[in-house]
Amino acid sequence: MPPPSLYELLGLSPDTAPAELRRAYEEAVRVATRAGDHRRAVELSTAYDALHHRLRGSIYPAARTDLGSVGGGATIHHLDPARARRRSRRRAGQQRSWTRRIVVVVIGAAVIALVALYVWQSVLAHPLY
């Protein structure tokens, strides 16, 4: 027997609007989590993951989503995976850029220190006066 669909778990008909499905899903997960019923929360999550990707996309669009009254008026920001990867790569590139700058500064300071030490040793070995 296949696992129950999200519609069956929430007691909704398959022609329910995506916004209503989202509200019912979030409310059911919130209630299950607060009650400590983690099996129910995982069951809901698994059923949500089994939805077709286009339906999941219409439930949580790539743009920022305001949850309204569900969850106490909290706002959740969802990014589509491609946009999140681009941001991650950009941040990684920025970190590498700063790392390169630090390495260049440290190496430059070491070279300057070695040149100064060489000049200082040369002056002590051969005083001009």
Burial class (CB within 10 angstroms; exposed 0-12, middle 13-18, buried 19+) of 60: middle
pLDDT, residue 95, reads 61
Instruction: From residue 90, give the alpha-carbon distance in Å to each of 62, 82, 96.
Output: 19, 12, 10
Q: Return phi, psi of residue 76, to 5°.
A: -115, 135
Mean per-residue pLDDT of the chain: 77
pLDDT at 110 over 90: yes
The span from the first CA to the last CA of the chain, in angstroms, equals 100
Residue 80 confidence (pLDDT) above 60: yes
**pLDDT bracket for residue 105 (50, 70, 90):** very high
Higher-confidence position of 5 and 78 = 5
pLDDT bucket at 79, cuts 50 / 70 / 90 = low
Rounded Cα–Cα distance for residues 15 and 18 (Å): 9
Across residues 99-119, what is the average pLDDT? 92
With the C-alpha atoms ordered 113, 116, 120, 126, is the resulting torsion angle positive or negative?
positive
pTM of the model: 0.45
Calculate helix-pair angle for 18-34, 38-49, nearest 10 degrees. 160
Q: Would you place residue 9 in the very low, low, confident or very high pLDDT band (cuts 50, 70, 90)?
A: confident
| CB distance 27 to 70 below 8 Å | yes
Average the pLDDT over 85-113 and give the result. 79
- Higher per-residue pLDDT: 107 or 50: 107
| pLDDT tens-digit readout, 29-66 | 999 999 999 899 899 888 888 887 777 777 776 544 44
Taking CA atoms, 129 is separated from 74, 100, 119, 124, 126, in Å, by 78, 44, 16, 11, 9
Question: What tokens does 14 get?
Answer: 């398959």
